[in-house]
Amino acid sequence: MTLYKKGEQGLWSGRQDEGSRFYKKVEAVDLEKGIPQKGEQKSFALLGFCCDEGVRRNCGRIGAKEGPAALRKALINKSFHHEAPFFIYDCGDIYCDDGDLEKSQEALASKMALILEAGHFPILLGGGHSIAYGHYLGLEKAQREKGLGIINVDAHFDLRPLLEEGKGSSGTPFLQISQLRQKKGQEFSYLCLGVQESANTTPLFEKAKELKSRYVLASDILSQGQEIYHKPMDELLFQSEGIYLTLCLDAFSFSVAPGVSAPSPFGIMPGHVLDLLKRLVISGKLISFDIAEMAPQFDEGGKTASLGAEVIARLIQESLRV
């Protein structure tokens, strides 16, 4: 079984006009053969996680394994407005075709570590939210986990108990991360934004409290705006050496993001994350990013893929401005 497939340059073609479009900036690479080292210019690296085994284990709607392809397609014609040179590498995809989620997470970690060691900013494309555990393992392999703070934009805490034989799912990654950090005597600094009360049981709220996790309810963001999360985010930034940001698309209302594993009628809106992206980039502490739960078969008119691609494009654009 193939766990890894290289990036394909042929995917990156689009509207023929003047100006800087995403596809014109992308260079496909094969991580088995290496990746160029970062130079003076800023550089970003895409890596897909074509896996929804974690979603299946968590009894969700499967289909997220097609997410990376949909996000790439939606990225093709996004425009940039930045004159200084920069690089974007498409590093291909990790697959999970045999149900062995753990092996695929390890493969993701190994490839992501190569990206980090080469000095590029990783942008991981999901795939179910079990991408987060593989992502973290990659940070460990590259020795970037010390002093780490995690911000998860999500309707769910994803702190569910492990399954039989200690296996994980799309609902367990941050519990697994907390356990790894506890074994190493490292603090688990976790902030979850957009939490839905109806999507998390009382024991999950208790687990969040037990782990001293910070969180902000979606209902509070909707009623009070993004300013409501500034204080907990600033506290996390102050105590952290680096920040890993993960965005689960089910945090958004299904009016704008129907193509997810677990749609939410009262989710947050796209504008609620723009301030988050700016503040994190300006802090200089953002070290990696992933986007999860993109399930194209449920997407109406490509809404969710377009939203995810827009977040990626804006994150890159903000990074180029500082």
The CATH number of residue 305's host domain is 3.40.800.10
**79-109 pLDDT, tens per residue?**
888 777 899 999 999 999 999 999 999 999 9
3-state SS class at 149? strand
Give the pLDDT band (50/70/90) at residue 1. Answer: low
Alpha helices by DSSP H, the chain? 22-25, 53-57, 67-75, 101-117, 131-141, 173-183, 202-210, 218-224, 230-239, 271-283, 303-321
Going by pLDDT thresholds of 50, 70 and 90, the confidence category of residue 224 is very high
pLDDT mean over 227-245: 97
Burial of 76 (0-12, 13-18, 19+ CB in 10 A): middle
Range of the domain at 110: 4-321
Q: Which residue is listed with tokens 């999360």?
A: 229
pLDDT-wise least confident of 9-18, 202-211, 215-224: 9-18
Distance of alpha carbon 61 from alpha carbon 47, whole angstroms: 23
- Please tell me the total count of domains within the chain: 1
* Six token digits for residue 116: 């980090």
> What pLDDT score was predicted for residue 85?
86
- Residues 126-142 have pLDDT tens digits of 999 999 999 999 999 99
Residue 35 pLDDT: 96
Alpha carbon distances (Å) from 297 to 62, 67, 169:
9, 9, 21
At 322, the pLDDT band (50, 70, 90 cuts) reads confident
Question: Per-residue pLDDT averaged across 10-31, rounded?
Answer: 91
Average of per-residue pLDDT values in the chain: 96
Stretch 291-309: mean pLDDT: 97
Q: For residue range 52-71, list pLDDT tens digits in order.
A: 999 999 999 999 999 999 99
Render 171-210 in DSSP notation, one character per residue: T-HHHHHHHHHHHTT---EEEEEEE-GGGS-HHHHHHHHH
